[in-house]
Every structure is written in C-alpha cells, then in structure tokens.
Amino acid sequence: MDDKVRILGRGVKSLRRKLGLTQEELGKLTGVSLGGVRAWERQQGMLKLKDASKVAILSIKGIGKAEARKRLEAMKPVKKVVAKVRKVSKGGKARRRKK
C-alpha cells in the first residue's frame, strides 16, 4: 500500500455524505464497525489506518450512490426458505406430533 495516500477524517465524512450513506452502511462497505467509522470522522488530520482499511476506503472513493447501494444490497444475507416436512404414516395420512 502506498504510504503517500492521505486520508483525512473530514474526507471520510465527506465521502460518506456524497454517497448518501449512514455511518453504519459505510462501515459495512469498508469492513469496519460503526464505532470505527465514528472515530475516523471525529479524528483531526490524517488518519492512521491499516492497509486493509485504506484499500477499502479507496475502493469506494470513485463510485457513485447507485453503485454504493448495489454493493450494500449484494452484502445482505440471503434468507433461506426451509420447508416444513410432515411425517406421513405408511397409510398416507399425516401423523400429529406428540407434545
């Protein structure tokens, strides 16, 4: 990662607002907790970030609102549909479960 990249707290806040995201949503996109995003935005001057966080912020820097929403939607967990199976007796009739 290039150490010359300067990411400022106010820059993170500006980027978040430009994309129309909440702090929580920005955290999901960058893989950081809500508290982490809050800390970034409050910090004065240049942020001291791990390489993974720098890459995550820089990867969303050039996108627009629509792309940000698209990426968030792709991150949502898919609900599994589980069919309830009833046991059927040999005669073809469903049995009731004993309570």
Q: What is the mean pLDDT of residues 75-85?
A: 69
pLDDT at residue 3, rounded to an integer = 63
Close Cβ partners of 96 (under 8 Å, ≥ 6 residues apart): none
Euclidean distance between CA atoms 8 and 6, whole angstroms: 6
Is-contact 28 16, C-beta < 8 A? Answer: no
Check residue 8 and report its DSSP letter: B
Extents of the domains making up the chain = 1-99
Is-contact 56 30, C-beta < 8 A? Answer: yes
Model pTM score: 0.70
Of 10, 12, 23, which is closest to residue 58 (Cα–Cα)?
12
Query: Which has more pLDDT, 83 or 36?
Result: 36
14-47: pLDDT as tens digits: 999 999 999 999 999 999 999 999 999 999 999 9
- The residue written with tokens 């005669």 in the block is 91
CA–CA distance from 4 to each of 15, 30, 42, 53, 65 (Å)?
19, 20, 22, 15, 27
**pLDDT(92) > 70:** no
**pLDDT(1) > 60:** no
CATH of 1-99, one of 3.90.1150.10, 1.10.260.40, 3.40.50.300, 3.40.50.720: 1.10.260.40
